[in-house]
């Protein structure tokens, strides 16, 4: 049987993982794909110790792989957005199918690249771009295709979840657990992409496009990181029955689409709240199926290669049987995607966790309560600790009912202006994610 010929660009963690996986499981995969999967051309700027490229042609210029007529499917694993954009464009224009793990590329340039793929009659697939080895893109696009999705919420950055788990379980400071994550190789030297939510925003945009049949809207994601969270807030959350997670949330409302990444209090009893350490999980609410959850490794060479090769096998299963690959990658042809308005953050409604430092004297809480009430916000739970000896201020923690961010912010401004309140009010959103 004619082999499916793969061009592999990049032999770092992802590309190396692909080579290792094909080396180990090649025969099994050939059976499933309906044809041998052969890496015929490797593009890599330099060799990498321990990575064997076998009998493949090796080019220092990755663009040579895109131009190689012997390549059926190009796997892009060079990362970044500039060179990868050029590489993927050229491969699509040369009539090749492309598989990538590059979330930034898809989130930021996917609309253009997917339209190009469609015009060329080829596929651009990216299962590995979101939640590593968890087949969440396939689940949304195919497994849940009979549903209208009302919302999805995911722990889609393992670094952040590792840090929050460490902070919560060991009452440690953010910077301390971050340093551990860096030592373990879970976090980069510059952790901005992970801890400030940019990586999660890339992934959320991709999930939302498939779930809600919209174009990719990276321009529209609200992003808030976890670096300002304190062990105290996590401990108060615990006392109130919640766990703090860094969530990506997408929800369709009658007024527009919510796209937001931020720290979130989740009820402890939710399965999503129990996802610990570097793992990822995505919870999806469909109108027919109800809530379903997908859990596993969100990063690492093996897990990412698993998803890359799942895409390759999907394509090879069609190609080996003489078929085209007709399934649009976002579930719909690009021209049929909806242009949903994005709900402004001021109108996004959630419950809230507020922590304030209040003077330890009568009447303060009634002032706070009145200010919240003026914005239509009521208090659902409250923790007020007795002052330690010598303290003149006490921490007060408030859980509100569901309120728009706009109303909440107006109330917080007024609370912060109170003479009896010191410093800024800490605020964290709460999601119940009822199924």
Q: Which residues bind a copy of itself (CB under 8 A)?
A: 17, 21, 24-25, 28-29, 31-34, 127, 132-135, 138-139, 142-148, 213, 271, 274-275, 286-297, 300, 302-303, 305-310, 312-314, 317-318, 321, 323-324, 326-327, 331-332, 336
CB count in 10 Å sphere of residue 346: 12
CB nearer to a copy of itself: pick between 315 and 356: 315
> In whole angstroms, how close is the CB of 431 to a copy of itself at the nearest point?
18
How much is the CA Rg of the chain, to the nearest whole Å?
24
Single out the catalytic residue among 203, 274, 279, 385.
203
Burial classification of residue 335, based on how many CB atoms lie within 10 Å of its CB (0-12 exposed, 13-18 middle, 19 or more buried): exposed
| The 3-state secondary structure of 327-369, one letter per residue | CCCCCCCHHHCECCCECCHHHCEEEEEEEEEEECCCCHHHHHH
Q: Is 278 annotated as a binding residue?
A: no
15 annotated as ligand-binding:
yes
Q: Residue 300 Cβ, how far from a copy of itself at the closest point, in Å?
A: 8
| C-beta neighbour count of 376 within 10 angstroms | 11
The reply, when asked if residue 79 is annotated as ligand binding, is no
Nearer to a copy of itself, 240 or 325 (CB): 325
Active site (annotated) includes residue 96:
no
Helix (H) or strand (E) run with residue 131 in it: none
The minimum distance between CB 287 and a copy of itself, in angstroms, equals 7
Determine the straight-line distance between the first and last CA of the chain, rounded to whole angstroms. 48
When the beta carbons of 102 and 306 are compared against a copy of itself, the nearer one is 306
Q: At 70, phi and psi to the nearest 5?
A: -80, -5
C-alpha span between 435 and 368 (Å, rounded): 33
103 within 8 A of 202, measured Cβ to Cβ: yes
Query: What pairs with residue 393 in β-bridges?
Result: 359
Q: Is there a binding annotation on residue 325?
A: no
Q: Nearer Cβ to a copy of itself, position 290 or 341?
A: 290
We find the least distance from the C-beta atom of residue 332 to a copy of itself, in angstroms, to be: 6
From the annotation, which residues make up the binding site?
9-16, 103, 188
The set of catalytic residues is 203
Question: Residues annotated as binding site for NADP(+)?
Answer: 9-16
Residue numbers in the known binding site for L-homoserine are 188
């Amino acid at each position: 049987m004619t082999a499916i010929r793969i061009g592999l660009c990049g032999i770092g963690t992802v590309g190396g993982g692909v080579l290792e996986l094909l080396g180990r499981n090649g025969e099994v995969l050939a059976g499933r794909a309906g044809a041998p999967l052969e890496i015929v051309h490797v593009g890599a700027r330099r060799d990498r110790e321990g990575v064997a490229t076998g009998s493949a042609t090796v080019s220092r210029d990755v663009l040579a792989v895109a131009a190689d007529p012997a390549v059926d499917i190009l796997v892009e694993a060079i990362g970044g957005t500039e060179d990868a954009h050029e590489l993927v464009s050229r491969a699509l224009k040369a009539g090749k199918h492309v598989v990538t793990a590059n979330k930034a590329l898809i989130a930021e340039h996917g609309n253009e690249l997917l339209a190009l793929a469609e015009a060329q009659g080829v596929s651009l697939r990216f299962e590995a771009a979101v939640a590593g080895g968890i087949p969440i893109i396939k689940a949304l696009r195919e497994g849940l295709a009979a549903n209208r999705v009302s919302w999805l919420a995911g722990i889609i950055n393992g670094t952040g979840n590792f840090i929050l788990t460490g902070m919560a379980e060991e009452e440690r400071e953010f910077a301390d657990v971050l340093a551990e994550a860096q030592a373990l190789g879970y976090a980069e030297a510059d952790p901005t992409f992970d801890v400030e939510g940019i990586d999660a925003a890339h992934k959320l945009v991709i999930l939302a496009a498939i779930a809600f049949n919209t174009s990719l809207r990276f321009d529209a994601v609200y992003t808030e990181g976890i670096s300002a969270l304190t062990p105290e807030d996590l401990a108060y959350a615990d006392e109130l029955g919640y766990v703090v997670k860094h969530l990506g949330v997408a929800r369709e409302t009658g007024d527009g689409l919510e796209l937001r990444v931020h720290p979130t209090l989740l009820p402890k009893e939710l399965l999503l709240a129990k996802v610990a350490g570097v793992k990822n999980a995505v919870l999806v609410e469909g109108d027919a199926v109800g809530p379903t959850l997908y859990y596993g490794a969100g990063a690492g060479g093996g897990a990412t290669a698993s998803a890359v090769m799942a895409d390759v096998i999907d394509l090879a299963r069609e190609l080996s049987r003489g078929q085209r690959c007709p399934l649009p990658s976002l579930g719909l042809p690009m021209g049929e995607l909806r242009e949903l308005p994005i709900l402004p953050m001021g109108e996004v409604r959630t419950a809230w966790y507020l922590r304030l430092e209040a003077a330890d004297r009568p009447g303060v809480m009634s002032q706070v309560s009145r200010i919240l009430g003026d914005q239509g916000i009521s208090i659902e739970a409250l923790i007020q600790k007795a002052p330690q000896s010598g303290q003149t201020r006490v921490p007060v923690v408030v859980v509100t009912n569901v309120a728009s961010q706009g109303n909440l912010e107006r109330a917080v401004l007024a609370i912060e202006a109170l003479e009896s309140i010191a410093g800024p009010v800490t605020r964290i959103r709460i999601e119940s994610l009822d199924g």
